[in-house]
């Protein structure tokens, strides 16, 4: 049966006027993109929220709907005005099915289409309630909800395994090399000692060296912060002509280089993989090219991520959101430890085995996601 969302669900406009002490508080930042369950909130923080939600209701992020934020509430609480609270009509819709009607690509596409506003687009319930979808009889709804929740439970289990694998790598690093503070095992040396030349630590091109007009849709890729933050899983969006890239060859990024963000999540690092096309670093990216005769880049990037002694130094030289050019010079002086290469290589072998496990986990997770979306399309249209 074809129905509209407004036929089987309503917007809850309940307000909360009592003391907020101990009450869960949910803002847009607590809704994780493409996650059907709410897992985070705050308590006893200053806010002006008064919108009430109840356990089992769906919290939909109506601002910037393209972020795909919608989750079922596991408890009662209050939330931001930029969250629409949606409740199922008990006689028409199985409550356990509502989260999957809202948290799906077709609903978000509809929401984006109906949103208004340029800088911070929002969508109203008056438009959301017109969203159409196929709805089976109540008995089938209950069975479908059970299957979809089983999908989500399995998906969360795989995500937990991925997180545990990362934690295992961190634990192995600390076990082999210490934390660099309480149990330092080797003399500390400047970061430049990990390179053949101090110029191997380099910022991307600035000013007239690289203009917006130089970017094109194909050619030599320019690797920017989105690529670094995603460990090079995201494709570059900007490219350069071969001639321009040759002029900027001192800013090249090649396999086994370490790329570091200089803006936003300052200090976030990623190892440039063998599988990608060599390119040029963006001005917001810093490159570290190690001397392979004494440093394994897998070990060094782990030290940059996991050693409290090193991460604290990065925080001190970054001085806020943007790492200025003078502070890049300071970055070169950050003290790191360089244990024997054989020990670094042993750790790198452990990381490669962990990466293989993560690859298999991610592949299974992708298959689960595909099967889940196919089921939603088939049964909910």
- Confidence tier at 113 by pLDDT (50, 70, 90): very high
- Work out whether the CA dihedral 99, 105, 110, 116 comes out positive or negative: positive
- Confidence tier at 118 by pLDDT (50, 70, 90): confident
Q: What CATH number is given for 2-135 in this structure?
A: 3.90.220.20
- Fold match between 2-135 and 187-338? yes
Share of the chain above pLDDT 70, in %: 96
CB-based contacts of 118: which residues, under 8 Å, 6+ apart?
Answer: none
Which tokens belong to 101?
């009607």
Q: Per residue in 8-20, pLDDT tens?
A: 999 999 999 888 8
Task: Please state, as a whole number, how many other Cβ atoms lie within 10 Å of the Cβ of residue 60.
Answer: 25
Q: What CATH number is given for 187-338 in this structure?
A: 3.90.220.20
User: Mean of the per-residue pLDDT values for the chain?
Assistant: 92
Q: Per residue in 243-257, pLDDT tens?
A: 999 999 999 999 999
Q: What is the pLDDT of residue 149?
A: 97
Domain boundaries, the chain: 2-135, 187-338
């Amino acid at each position: 049966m074809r129905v509209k969302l407004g036929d089987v669900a309503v917007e809850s406009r309940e307000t909360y006027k009592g003391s907020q002490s101990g009450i869960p508080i949910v803002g847009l930042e607590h809704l994780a993109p493409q996650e059907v369950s709410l897992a985070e909130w705050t308590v006893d923080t200053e806010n002006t929220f008064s919108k009430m939600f109840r356990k089992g209701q769906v919290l939909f992020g109506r601002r910037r709907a393209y972020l795909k934020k919608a989750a079922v509430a596991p408890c009662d609480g209050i939330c931001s005005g930029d969250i629409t609270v949606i409740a199922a009509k008990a006689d028409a819709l199985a409550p356990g099915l509502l989260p999957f009607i809202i948290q799906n690509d077709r609903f978000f596409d509809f929401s984006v289409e109906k949103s208004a506003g340029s800088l911070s687009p929002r969508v109203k319930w008056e438009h959301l309630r017109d969203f159409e979808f196929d709805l089976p009889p109540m008995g089938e709804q209950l069975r479908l909800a059970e299957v979809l929740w089983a999908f989500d439970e399995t998906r969360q289990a795989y995500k937990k395994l991925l997180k545990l694998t990362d934690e295992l790598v961190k634990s192995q690093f600390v076990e082999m090399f210490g934390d660099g503070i309480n149990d330092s095992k080797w003399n500390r040396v400047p970061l430049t000692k990990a390179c053949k030349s101090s110029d191997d630590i380099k910022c991307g091109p600035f000013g007239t060296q690289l203009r917006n007009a130089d970017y094109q849709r194909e050619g030599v890729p320019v690797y920017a912060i989105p690529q670094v933050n995603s460990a090079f899983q995201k494709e570059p969006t900007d490219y350069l002509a071969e001639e321009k890239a040759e002029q900027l060859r001192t800013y090249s990024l090649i396999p086994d280089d370490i790329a570091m963000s200089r803006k936003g999540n300052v200090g976030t690092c990623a190892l440039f993989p063998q599988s990608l096309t060599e390119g040029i670093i963006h001005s917001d990216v810093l490159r570290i090219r190690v001397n392979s005769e004494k440093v394994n880049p897998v070990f060094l990037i782990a030290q940059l991520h996991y050693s409290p002694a090193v991460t604290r130094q990065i925080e001190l030289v970054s001085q806020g959101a943007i790492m200025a050019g003078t502070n890049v010079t300071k970055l070169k002086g950050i003290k790191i430890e360089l244990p024997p290469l054989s020990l670094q290589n042993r750790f790198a072998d452990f990381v490669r085995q962990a990466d293989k496990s993560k690859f298999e986990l991610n592949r299974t997770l992708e298959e689960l996601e595909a099967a889940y979306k196919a089921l939603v399309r088939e049964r909910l249209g």
